[in-house]
Structure 1
Amino acid sequence: MRIESKDSYSVISSPIGHLGLAERNEQLVLVEFLPGSSFLQTPISPLLQEAARQLAAYFQDPLFVFHLPCALSVSEHQKKVLAEIAVIPSGQLQTYADISRKIHSSPRAVGGACGRNPLPLLIPCHRVVAAKGLGGFNAGRNGVDWLPIKRWLLNHEGVHV
């Protein structure tokens, strides 16, 4: 997702590294994992302050449920995938194939949609795994292997992989 000049943006620290948060029209539009070299930017808007508070609550309690206004600028297929992922409870997993059967798609297409999730953590794509292993995570954005974060999140939720 492209950040526009009218968007509010902040960078917060978390147990898994720096997270970028973006708001557009009073809706959260982006949560992104950032390299450690990113500079922190204190959330200024009330929504980004609340998003930072709720993310901190999740890192304290993996059963925490997010309640934030969000907007998704994604394809119809990706909306279907993300809707299925959004209801996976903390501590539980589904495979790409499980989701593909529910929405009549292919596991590869589900994996692609997961990799482009603009709101990871809020829409918990880390709870979706391959039939024989973890699968990918965050589509290798910025040329980084994000799988250690997926492992950390699953361990945080009581799933030991």
Structure 2
Amino acid sequence: MTQLTLDTPTGPMCLTERDGAIVRLEWGEGGHDHTLLLDAAMRQVQDYFAGQRETFDLPLVVDGSDFQRAVCDAMIAIPFGYTKTYGEIAKALGVPAQAVGQACGGNPIPVIIPCHRVMGAKGLTGFSGQGGVETKVALLRLEGAGGFLI
């Protein structure tokens, strides 16, 4: 696995590549490897934070169960600037909302797989990334997403 650390407005983030796919994005310092994919991913994340990108075009691999991958696919399908509730995703997948919440919290590639776009039934909920709910609010504001409570 190779890693590349980049600076973002929400703190340093580390991208991890394995076998030609992005497998992890986490807050914090990591490696400083440069590959074509890691450099492309870094540019796309930087463009997102600069307000110049709404979608990502990267090969992703989500390690985990079929359910974890299904929830990640559902999150990827939420358009830039919009939100869905855990309940809406749960209904579409035929599972309890709590299970969706746990899968969102286990998202290995936040921001690129936009778990910040998933809300509770009554509005804003926690966020497992660095900075917690404040980071979630910052990402939603960057996207101009409405309909959430602060």
Q: Same fold (TM over 0.5)?
A: yes
Alignment TM-score, normalising by the size of structure 2: 0.90
What's the counterpart of residue 12 of structure 2? 18
Check whether the contact 2:68–2:103 (CA below 8 A) recurs between aligned residues: yes
- For residues 70-89 of structure 1, what are the structure 2 equivalents within 5 Å? 70-89=60-79
- What RMSD in Å do the two structures reach over aligned CA positions? 1.7
CA distance in 1, matches of 2:49, 2:67: 30
Q: Is structure 2 residue 60 aligned with structure 1 residue 47?
A: no
Report the AA paired with residue 23 of structure 2: V
Q: Deviations over 1:1-40 (max 9, x none)?
A: xxxxxx0012110011111110001111001122xxx4x7
- For residues 25-64 of structure 1, what are the structure 2 equivalents within 5 Å? 25-34=19-28, 38=29, 41-61=31-51, 63-64=53-54
Question: Aligned with 2:123: secondary structure?
Answer: coil
Alignment TM-score, normalising by the size of structure 1: 0.85
What's the counterpart of residue 124 of structure 2? 134
CA distance in 2, matches of 1:43, 1:57: 20
Question: Aligned with 1:17: secondary structure?
Answer: coil
Check whether the contact 2:2–2:31 (CA below 8 A) recurs between aligned residues: no
2:137 aligns with one of 151, 154, 159: 151
1:65 aligns with one of 39, 55, 58: 55
CA shift in 2, pair 1:152/1:51, >3 Å: same
Q: Deviations over 1:36-87 (max 9, x none)?
A: xx4x744411111111000011112265211111111111111111111111
CA shift in 2, pair 1:62/1:101, >3 Å: farther
CA distance in 1, matches of 2:3, 2:70: 27
In structure 1, runs of 5+ residues without a counterpart are 1-6
Aligned residues: 147
What's the counterpart of residue 121 of structure 1? 111
Check whether the contact 1:63–1:90 (CA below 8 A) recurs between aligned residues: no
2:101 aligns with one of 103, 106, 111: 111
